[in-house]
Amino acid sequence: MSLPSLNVPFGEWLPDQPALNNPGVTRAHNVIPGSGAFYKPFPSPQQYSPTSLPSRPYAAISLLDNGRNAHVYAASRTNLFTLDPGTQNWTDISRPAGYNTAEIEGWRFTEAYGLVVGTNYSDNPQYIDATKGTRFSDLTSLVKARYVTTLRDFVLVGNTFDAFDGAVPYRVRWSAIGNPMDWNFSATTQADFQDILGGGPVQAVIGGEEGTILLKSQIVKMVYVGSPAIFEFKTIYQNKGCAIPQSVISADGKIFFYGEDGFYMMENDRLNAIGKGKVDSWFKADSNQAAFDRMTVSIDPLNKLVIWLYASVDAYDLKPDHFLIFNYDTGTWSTGNSTVQFLFNSLSLPETLAALDRYGSIEAVPASLDSTVWSGGRAFLAAMDESGKVYSFSGSNMLATIETGEYPTAAMLAQQIQGVKGDRALVRGASPKVHGRADVSVQVSGKVTPQANTNYGTTSPININGWCPLRSDARYHRYRITISGGWSQAMGVEIDAVPTGLR
């Protein structure tokens, strides 16, 4: 009698759910969640520029100036830089005195009225005219701050320090309307401040038409109403806030951050616990809390992804080594290994074929000639290593691993075949459903009891018939699929199994 095969689709990655009868997969590593019930390859970082910084990168921003020319700026601990379009090297454009960023602090950037504004709390806020500026200069000496954004016609800072009041971590302060250079309090210019009590320190300020202030245990909306009040402040969530300032990013009208109890997305002032029951417990166990200040987060605009780069519990010297990836269209997750230590969103600088001569040969060019990284002003996901070398994610596909849940194989057969008795089954093979030119192999783990250890057997490569021969007689089975090469989509695995009765 010919027995039907069992189809096991690759559902969403749900590490916080039990492995037994998991409705998704228990591992989705070095892949990105697709727009449906499938996974796509995660390309490896490839060197875009062999330049360097004097310390690890602390922040980066890219923008188009008033002439539609792309610029990339970055911060090290003591200097500020721009990426030179001709040489692709970091060029120091710091103020002459340099900077004294405290080890536990960082840099934040924003763009306003053609200016790039940066703050590190240790020094006066800095600015440069993106169109014609040659060096950063002090924006003001009246306030220092940890966080900065652009809100309507104002530059807004949060978690401040000034000579009169000292450190006020729960304060936000804004510039004169239409003038980021003027910070003198004035009813005429509307420059002012607001203390927000009851929520702890300000952890992030997010601008736009309306402002959102994330405190440690409070979320506040900031709406422009004009003089005399200037802004209206409304608490929209109490006892909910941001635990890791470095986890905050906004995209497509959404704000993403990590709270005390997990990952959140806020859209139209509504919070969605995007990690609850999915990845929150897993991340808490996998991450090194001592290295949260080294976390960075960025957007992959093409694939609608938020990607957090963080140090795992196994990281060396607190260096970020893992990606946590969230598809905000589908609400699904995956992970990846990292050889870079800093993520940011970049605009590509224009390149000519003559400029590519610096790579020596076409074979040495770090991305294909039709890649977006060579056309000026194109947004792409970028990274830096600890030395400041710049990378784009345009390399070969990383080695992917997907592991299914654990299933009672005989019971699954009984749903398709009348008369099947017993609770054991012999798995004879697996056929991975993967599109593209891929090298695929499968391992199987068999258990008699759910509490037994999960031990995968010998790796079985795919044969010319599309099957990976296996042999495992047990009650419960799970599968590890490893994929390399030029594949495009991974959808599931088909199982060949026969019932073996009771033993």
pLDDT at 67: 86
CATH for 489? 2.60.120
User: Residue 404 falls within a domain, yes or no?
Assistant: yes
Asked if the model's pLDDT at residue 58 lies above 80, the reply is yes
User: Residue 480 falls within a domain, yes or no?
Assistant: yes
pLDDT at 94: 98
In 201-220, which positions are buried (b, 16+ CB within 10 angstroms) versus exposed (e)?
bbbbbbbeeebbbbbbbbbb
In the chain, % of residues over pLDDT 90: 84
Quick count: other Cβ atoms within 10 Å of Cβ 381? 22
pLDDT at 416: 76
Q: Please provide residue 233's backbone torsions phi and psi, each rounded to the nearest 5 degrees.
A: -110, 125
- HEC assignment per residue over 60-96: EEEEECCCCCEEEEEECCCCEEEECCCCCCEEECCCC
- Give one DSSP letter per residue of 252-302, joined into a string: TTEEEEEETTEEEEEETTEEE-TTTTTTHHHHHHHB-GGGGGG-EEEEETT
Asked if the model's pLDDT at residue 471 lies above 50, the reply is yes
pLDDT at 359: 47
Q: How many domains does the chain have?
A: 1
381: left (phi over 0), alpha (psi -120 to 50) or beta: beta
Structure tokens that stand for 108 in this block: 């934040």
Asked if the model's pLDDT at residue 490 lies above 50, the reply is yes
- Give one DSSP letter per residue of 116-170, joined into a string: EEEE-SSS--EEEETTT--S-EES-SS-EEEEEEEETTEEEEEEEEETTTEEEEE
* Residue 222: C-alpha distances to residues 109, 171, 230, 231, 332 (Å): 20, 13, 10, 6, 31
User: Residue 463 falls within a domain, yes or no?
Assistant: yes
Residues whose CB falls within 8 Å of the CB of residue 302, separated by 6 or more in sequence, listed in order = none
Written as one letter, the residue type at 313 is V
Least Cα distance to 80 among 346, 388, 390, 391 occurs for 388
Structure tokens that stand for 6 in this block: 């069992």
DSSP 8-state code for residue 350: P
Asked if the model's pLDDT at residue 271 lies above 50, the reply is yes
- HEC assignment per residue over 94-127: CCCCCCCCCCCCCCEEEEECCEEEEECCCCCCEE
User: Residue 433 falls within a domain, yes or no?
Assistant: yes
Backbone CA torsion sign across 476, 482, 486, 489? positive
Asked if the model's pLDDT at residue 358 lies above 50, the reply is no
User: How far apart (Å, rounded) are the C-alpha atoms in residues 192 and 390?
Assistant: 39
pLDDT tens digit sequence for 401-447: 999 999 999 989 888 776 667 789 999 999 999 999 899 999 999 99
Largest separation between any pair of C-alpha atoms in the chain = 88
Angle among Cα 10, 16, 18 to the nearest 5 degrees reads: 75
- HEC assignment per residue over 366-409: CCCCCCHHHCCCCEEEEEECCCCCEEECCCCECCEEEEECEEEH
Residues whose CB falls within 8 Å of the CB of residue 111, separated by 6 or more in sequence, listed in order = 61, 63, 117, 130, 150
Host domain of residue 407? 6-42+399-501
User: Residue 103 falls within a domain, yes or no?
Assistant: no
pLDDT at 356: 45
Return the SS3 of 429.
strand
Bridge-based pairing state of the strands 154-162 and 166-174: antiparallel
User: Residue 493 falls within a domain, yes or no?
Assistant: yes
pLDDT at 415: 82
* Residue 292: C-alpha distances to residues 123, 209, 319, 430, 477 (Å): 22, 30, 10, 41, 37
- When pLDDT is averaged across residues 11-40 and rounded to a whole number, the result is 96
pTM of the predicted model over 0.85:
yes
User: Residue 407 falls within a domain, yes or no?
Assistant: yes
User: Residue 226 falls within a domain, yes or no?
Assistant: no
Q: What is the mean pLDDT of the chain?
A: 92
